Structure 1
Amino acid sequence: MSDYIGVDGMGDVVSSPQIALCVMAGLASTYFLRHHVSRKAKQSQSVMRLKGNKETIPKLLSSEKIDAIINRKWKQVLEFIVFDDPSELSLPDKKGHTVLHHMCLFRAPIEIIQMVLWQRPELASQANADGELPLHWAVRLSAPNECIRSLLVANRDTATSFWDKEGHSPLSLFWDRHKNRYLDIYWEGKENLLALRAWKRLIMFFQPQEKDDSAPSPLHAAADSICPPALFPLLIQVYRDQLRVADETGRNPLHIACSDPVSNRSTDLRTKIQNLLKEDADAAQQMDKQGRTAFMIALEAGIAWNEGLKELFELTPYSSSVPDPVTWLPPFLLAATGASHRMKKAQERKRAMMLRNCSEKSLETVFRLLNANPSCIEVIR
């Protein structure tokens, strides 16, 4: 009886070896079924993970486009500019270089560069991983004037308001290369400097448009730009006849320098305001079309007391009691409430970090104005 230990579903007696085989067969089928399901699940997860990675990996500039530029196959380059999706022109390569960087590096024909800028003008302001714009490359590689001019026309601020990781703007790169030559020739005579081809190339950074009568003079444009330290004093000497000339808004170079505390500081020993007043102190008496003097403009912009505001106040001492003709605020309140205007301009120029201390510096201005004329508080009661 020990050899018979069970009965199957049909009523037949089943021996222990037969039961063992049945149990093993059931376990094997269960194992293989579970293994198959687990393998399918892992494969499905891998596929989903791969799809997810493809969606998160950023698209890059294709190697075919880069190779066409490197090999100077300009007909092929022209075809992908005209027929491919325009958004693909904005794609960077692995190092952040755009198609415009490569075109400046391999000296693409000016017509092709202008066509890219016509479709994607924002590429002129797109930096690579090192903070370099296409204009940085064009200046370093001594690109033709028309190439540099086209990049500047797309965005003139790229000349002075964008810096690479080493702190160089395109203008400062160009100035550092030629400054000794400029200064040597200037001492020989201003006319020799103005006739110099390299000087005309420098002025192009401030006047990219040719034969544009509405464009500001180089001195007006430089007053509103962050210049290499020694450049602005030289421009004052070369363009002394422009010190009293007003632009279309009625502002002379002094007014313009008073409107931006960051560009005002971009000189060596004196600020731009102090340099301009040294050459022509009477310019402080001029008003723009809104009836504002340079002192009023400087108050709203947040010019610090020791960065030119003191000199403006000494030249126009009556300013502490004259309300601003635009906001009708007394001067001390104009200095205190100009923060919103300054931060708006900072965001436009991407210089918010450079203006962090303006609010603290305005406290000294408020104190000195109230100390000079305490009675102005009575006006607002």
Structure 2
Amino acid sequence: MHTWPDAAKANKWGNTPLHDACYSGASSDTISLLVATWPAAAKERNRKENTPLHSACEGRASLDTISLLLGMWPEAIEEKNFYNQLPLHVACIKKASLDVISLLVGNRHDTIKRKDNFDCTPLHEACSCASSIDVISFLLKCCPDAIKEKNRDGETPLHAACRLGYRASLKTISLLLKIWPDASNEKNRNNETPFHIVYRHEGPIEIILLLLDAWLELSGNRNSLRVDSLKPNAPEETRTLLSHVSTLFGDELS
């Protein structure tokens, strides 16, 4: 193995054997042998500018493999690929475990609000890809301000969570609203609040009601004109709900 001539050879996609091993779920022993053969391989990039750590996150590699790669090159946490994604972005997209996410964050909590080419943070990705409530709680605990970051479409992590529609998590949305209630009033570039997003994507009624209740708690929303402003493009059952709510208020701002 120590004289293996192809250890430093990349394929047509620019992947070295270490990239491929990390992506395909090779054992940590195999990863160790590859690194021992060519220590600098941990810093090599493929055509998408992915490091082996990016590839490991994309392939949902084990905690041992992630730990081994970080031991070889701790600064890999800060490295971005062609899409300006950190390994943490990729891990959140792939719904990595809390242990892996914790290792990738380390003491660099600001990585949680770093943005990729689409201005998405790792928290956006975790919310849009239905990461576990434990992962999302951890990210928010480490970097509470990340909840207010907006992507290129002007969407907060709450918008991202609502886009899951019927797969949206009541626990996740409840947590996001608890930390930043005003998120229910934030609008994207299409002038849509999270309430608009969740009903357009056919989210569960309990989440629709949760978002509506949070929205009504905010100053200025408890009047019929504001409630009626939520109706355009809403499905019939949602418009009926809003009509009933609208009758509870006058048209004076409160």
TM-score range for the pair, normalised by the shorter chain length? 0.5 to 0.7
- The aligned residue for residue 41 of structure 2 is 112
Which structure would you say has the larger RCO, counting Cα contacts within 8 Å and 6 or more residues apart? 2
Once the 2 structures are TM-superposed, how far is the Cα of residue 331 of structure 1 from its aligned partner? 0.8
Once the 2 structures are TM-superposed, how far is the Cα of residue 208 of structure 1 from its aligned partner? 7.5
Q: Give the direction of change, closer, same or farther, for the CA distance of 1:99–1:172 in structure 2 (3 Å limit).
A: closer
Q: Is the 8 A contact 1:260 1:303 kept in 2?
A: yes
String of CA shifts for 1:269-305, please: whole Å, max 9, x gaps.
x522211222332221221111111101111233212
- The aligned residue for residue 106 of structure 2 is 198
Once the 2 structures are TM-superposed, how far is the Cα of residue 372 of structure 1 from its aligned partner? 4.6
When the two structures are superposed, what TM-score results if normalisation uses the length of structure 2? 0.60
- The aligned residue for residue 310 of structure 1 is 209
Q: 1:175-254 residue pairs with structure 2 within 5 A? A: 175=101, 198-200=106-108, 204=111, 206=112, 215-217=119-121, 219-254=123-158
Q: Is the 8 A contact 1:156 1:208 kept in 2?
A: no
Q: Is the 8 A contact 1:104 1:134 kept in 2?
A: no
Q: Give the direction of change, closer, same or farther, for the CA distance of 1:141–1:99 in structure 2 (3 Å limit).
A: closer
CA distance in structure 2 between the partners assigned to 1:105 and 1:207 by the alignment: 35
Q: Which residue identity lines up with residue 138 of structure 1 in the other structure? A: T
Residues 1:295 and 2:211 aligned together = no
Once the 2 structures are TM-superposed, how far is the Cα of residue 241 of structure 1 from its aligned partner? 3.7
- The aligned residue for residue 283 of structure 1 is 183
Q: Which of 61, 76, 92 matches 1:160?
A: 92
Q: Give the direction of change, closer, same or farther, for the CA distance of 1:132–1:145 in structure 2 (3 Å limit).
A: same
Once the 2 structures are TM-superposed, how far is the Cα of residue 132 of structure 1 from its aligned partner? 5.6
Helix, strand or coil at the partner of 2:187: coil
CA distance in structure 1 between the partners assigned to 2:144 and 2:48 by the alignment: 40
Aligned residues: CA RMSD: 4.9
Helix, strand or coil at the partner of 1:107: helix
Q: Is the 8 A contact 1:257 1:263 kept in 2?
A: no
Q: Is the 8 A contact 2:42 2:69 kept in 1?
A: no
String of CA shifts for 1:205-232, please: whole Å, max 9, x gaps.
x5688xx798545544443344343332
- The aligned residue for residue 139 of structure 1 is 66
Q: Which residue identity lines up with residue 46 of structure 2 in the other structure? A: L
- The aligned residue for residue 249 of structure 2 is none
CA distance in structure 2 between the partners assigned to 1:150 and 1:177 by the alignment: 15
String of CA shifts for 1:68-105, please: whole Å, max 9, x gaps.
xxx3x476522x33xxx637969989xx6679994466
- The aligned residue for residue 174 of structure 1 is 100
CA distance in structure 2 between the partners assigned to 1:301 and 1:134 by the alignment: 32
Q: Which residue identity lines up with residue 145 of structure 1 in the other structure? A: P
Q: Which residue identity lines up with residue 152 of structure 2 in the other structure? A: E
Q: Which residue identity lines up with residue 248 of structure 1 in the other structure? A: R
Q: Is the 8 A contact 1:89 1:99 kept in 2?
A: no
CA distance in structure 2 between the partners assigned to 1:100 and 1:332 by the alignment: 51
Q: Give the direction of change, closer, same or farther, for the CA distance of 1:150–1:136 in structure 2 (3 Å limit).
A: farther
List runs of 5+ in structure 1 lacking aligned partners.
Answer: 1-66, 163-168, 179-196, 334-365, 375-381
Once the 2 structures are TM-superposed, how far is the Cα of residue 151 of structure 1 from its aligned partner? 8.9
Identify, as 1 or 2, the structure richer in helix.
Answer: 1
Residues 1:86 and 2:7 aligned together = no
- The aligned residue for residue 234 of structure 2 is 331
CA distance in structure 1 between the partners assigned to 2:181 and 2:14 by the alignment: 54
Q: Give the direction of change, closer, same or farther, for the CA distance of 1:138–1:314 in structure 2 (3 Å limit).
A: same
Q: Is the 8 A contact 2:123 2:146 kept in 1?
A: yes
- The aligned residue for residue 220 of structure 2 is none
CA distance in structure 1 between the partners assigned to 2:148 and 2:14 by the alignment: 48
Query: Which protein is bigger by CA-based radius of gyration?
Result: 1
Q: Is the 8 A contact 1:135 1:158 kept in 2?
A: no
String of CA shifts for 1:94-126, please: whole Å, max 9, x gaps.
xx6679994466436575355462389699669
CA distance in structure 2 between the partners assigned to 1:154 and 1:281 by the alignment: 29
Q: Is the 8 A contact 2:128 2:161 kept in 1?
A: yes
Residues 1:77 and 2:4 aligned together = no
CA distance in structure 1 between the partners assigned to 2:119 and 2:156 by the alignment: 13
Once the 2 structures are TM-superposed, how far is the Cα of residue 250 of structure 1 from its aligned partner? 1.8
When the two structures are superposed, what TM-score results if normalisation uses the length of structure 1? 0.43
List runs of 5+ in structure 2 lacking aligned partners.
Answer: 217-223, 245-254
